[in-house]
Structure 1
Amino acid sequence: MMLELVRKALRVDGPDHDEEIQGLIAAARADLALSGVALEKAQSDDDPLIERAIITYCRAEFDYADQATDKLRQSYEMLKRHLTLSEEYRGGSS
C-alpha cells in the first residue's frame, strides 16, 4: 500500500524504480524511529502523518534535480520534529 502511495506521489508508473522506492520508504521509517517515533507508529501504513512524512522524505530523496528538494527536506524535518514531540508518537507510547 505505501509503495503505491509513494509511487503515485513521485509520479512513477510501473515497477521500474520499485527497489529504490522501497529502500527510501525503509530509510524514512528507520529515520523516524531513530528520531524517537515509536517503531509501531513508524511502521504504520494507516497513519496520515506517518504517510505524509514518508512521502515527503521520498520526494526529497528520489529526484536530486528537483528544485523543491531543499523545501521538501525542511518540510520532512519539521513534520518529524512535531511527531517526536507528540506523546502519541514517541517511542514507548501507543
Structure 2
Amino acid sequence: MLQSVKSSVRIINDKFDSELTDLIESAKMDLLIAGVAKTDEADPLIKRAIILYCKANFGLDNKDSEKYQKSYEILKEKLSLCGDYNNVE
C-alpha cells in the first residue's frame, strides 16, 4: 500500500515513509469509525479511499486538498452504507 500511496503523491524517495504510513493507518481507522468493517488493502475501493485520504492530508501546500477530501468523504459514505463493506462475517 505504501508504494501505491507514494506513487499517487509523486514521491520516489523514503523521506516521507513514516508520515505516509501514519496517513494510511489513519485512513483505515477513519473508515472503521465510519462503519466500514472490511478495510482490506487489496480491495480496489478500499485502496482508492486510502489513496484519496492520503492525497487530501499529505503535505502543507496542497491546493487540491479539499477536492481529494470531498472525494474521500463521498466514497467513505458509500462504503459505510454498502452491505458488502459494513457487515462482519
Alignment correspondent of 1:7: 6
TM-superposed CA distance for 1:92, in Å, is: 2.1
Paired residues for 1:71-82 under 5 Å: 71-82=67-78
Alignment correspondent of 1:49: 45
- Of the structure 1 ranges 45-54 and 62-71, higher mean CA displacement relative to structure 2 is found in 62-71
Does residue 66 of the first structure (1) align with residue 62 of the second (2)?
yes
Give the number of aligned pairs. Answer: 89
Alignment correspondent of 1:19: 18
TM-superposed CA distance for 1:63, in Å, is: 2.2
Alignment correspondent of 2:33: 34
Cα deviations by residue, 1:35-62 (Å, 9 ceiling, x for unpaired): 0001xx21x1210000000000000000
How far, CA to CA, are the matches of 1:45 and 1:82 in structure 2? Answer: 17
4+ residue segments displaced more than 4 Å: none
TM-superposed CA distance for 1:65, in Å, is: 1.5
How far, CA to CA, are the matches of 1:36 and 1:13 in structure 2? Answer: 33
Could you state the TM-score of these two structures normalised by the residue count of structure 2?
0.95
